[in-house]
Chains A and B, each alone.
Chain A
Amino acid sequence: MDNLEQKFNETIKMGLDIVKETEEDRLMTLSVGPQHPGSGHFRFTIKVDGDYIVYCDPDPGYVHRGEEKMCEYRNFIQNIPHLERPIIHDSTNITYSYSLAVEELANIQVPLRGQYIRALASELNRQVYTLYWLAIYGIFLGHSTMFMWPMGDRELFIDLLEALTGARVTHAFNIPGGVRNDVPEGFRDRCLRQVAYFEKRLTEYEDIFYNNPLFRQRTEGVGILTKDNAIKLGVTGSVLRASGIPFDVRKAEPYDIYNEIDFKIQYMKTCDSFARSTVPFLDMKESCHIIRQLLDKMPKSGEVRAKLQPNPKGPPGESYKRVESGRGALGYYIVSDGTPKPYRVKISVGSFRNMLALPFLLIGSKLADMPSIYWSLNYWPVEADR
């Protein structure tokens, strides 16, 4: 280094016009903003030194609609269409957790067939959500076939959900006490046919996307989140399972009838971006097995919903319930003071918890790796802002 400095000083003495670069000249501030094909409705400010990112500061809040405050002004049933909107394409899971918490507060018992139908809708919705995530991942990396194929397959699952609930994405299907209506005629056969077709399609995805050498080069070894760091940062969902920790709320704390379903937790140990994008794919495969078991074990007939009073309420108390949504553990903390309206509703969403890993992973990596790291963290801005 001294030699270099000496040479530099000599060059200046010779009178050549060289300007020495200062620290401030090297860094360039970029704002990956809300109007950006690579970020969605979320902004993060990064400073780059050449090709490497040295600083990252997320700036959420562009879709902050005040869900938690608005829940205090509506009663327990009126809150359901409201609480669906943060994760609109996975809406069954976010209302599932809410219904569980309200049932604990108000002491409502759910009939068995209702529990099975709830779990079935939750698994179908998990497929829908993961396919949307995969489609956007494809288009971020420039693989437009991987945008079209999952979008098309997703429509078939949405058809099933539309036959079951009546709406494409905003189902309002789960209520405290069960589900709103029973499955229609012929649903079981249709569902089994669709699951068989989908399993064939998953092998095709593997061929064009996961075994694609370009995709592998872009994501293997990129954005390593070691096991200790994953625990320290408190991430959840597929990000956690890709770092070697087999944690799934359906196995750790089985809710409803999940203790009667036999499935394995899918996890990988390589901790990089490739692992984070493969774990949801393996989850989808496992979900197909779960759907088959649910359809087999469902009781043939029965009530699907408990009878409720017009304004359900419970004694003063609080409850915390969590559910494995498409993105991770989704928890609700509800405080009730004896009236039909909740006193405080706090939603603990996977995106907000995973956001902490974003500056951690981006600092030190290259600018060109940003899309593959950012979307592999499974961040949905509408959910994080609530």
Chain B
Amino acid sequence: MIKDLVNPTNFNILVGKLGDALTRALDQPLGYAINWGRIWSLWPVHLETACCSVEFGAASGPRYDVERFGIIEAFGSLRQCDLIVVQGTVTRKMAPRLRMVYDQMPDPKYVIAMGACAITGGLYIDSYNVLPGVDGIIPVDVYVPGCPPRPETLIQGTMLLQEKIKRSKIR
């Protein structure tokens, strides 16, 4: 009787449907779990580019504690980080190094452009040594405006990044 039910054509469809059911059953909770793990442990690279690094330092301080969100500045190597916060102006001398650092980070990686200078060049748009915005060299996920942005704004920026990660499919 089983031989009647399961013949070659039928078998493929059965396996296919079983695979679909399995994917639907596991993908969503598994994806949710993996994204949950990524959201609450974003580790930024220690790369200060310019003056906004002072507000990033203040955000790590006791009043605007970002460590409760899991954002600990990894003082080890950059091979274990997944977030790069471009803090401030990127000059032409710093740009190749920024690209190298970005390339060395493992996937998945996210970029937050912090400050007006990282978005469009800001106050220094007509300087001879400043890149007008950092999204020409690395793909940016979240733009945080301000000059410099208050630490609360930076935290809101990371929450937006968390929403974006929640919505993404895992590969």
Please give the residue numbers on chain A whose beta carbons come within 8 Å of chain B beta carbons, in ascending order.
Answer: 33-37, 40-41, 61-66, 69-70, 73, 81-82, 85-86, 88-89, 132, 135-136, 147-148, 151-152, 154-155, 158, 168-170, 382
Contact = CB atoms under 8 A, between A and B. Distances in A.
B-side interface mostly: loop
A170 B54 CA distance: 11
Those 7 A-B pairs whose CB atoms lie nearest each other, nearest first: A151-B61, A88-B51, A152-B62, A66-B127, A37-B75, A35-B47, A37-B46
18 contacts: A35-B46, A35-B101, A40-B48, A62-B91, A62-B93, A64-B93, A64-B129, A65-B91, A65-B124, A66-B129, A70-B124, A70-B127, A86-B51, A135-B61, A148-B61, A154-B58, A168-B150, A169-B55
Interface string B68-97: 000001010010000000000101011001
A186 to B, nearest CB: 22
Contacts of B126: 70, 73
Nearest to A85: B51
A151 B63 CA distance: 8
B62 A65 contact: no
A82 B126 CA distance: 12
Given A40-B48, A41-B94, A82 B129 contact: no
Interface string B38-72: 00000001111111011101101111000000000
A152 B61 contact: yes
Interface of B: 45-51, 53-55, 57-58, 60-63, 73, 75, 78, 89, 91, 93-94, 97, 101, 123-124, 126-130, 147-148, 150
Contacts of A63: 49-50, 89, 91, 94
Given A34-B97, A170-B147, A65 B127 contact: yes
Nearest to B124: A65
Contact of B49 (A41, A64, A86, A132): A41
Nearest to A89: B54
A151 B62 contact: yes
B46 to A, nearest CB: 5
Given A40-B48, A73-B126, 8 more contacts: A34-B94, A35-B97, A36-B46, A37-B46, A65-B127, A65-B130, A132-B54, A148-B62
A129 to B, nearest CB: 10
Contacts of A151: 57-58, 60-63
Contacts of A34: 47, 94, 97
Contact of A88 (B54, B75, B93, B129): B54
Contacts of A69: 127-128
A69 B126 CA distance: 10
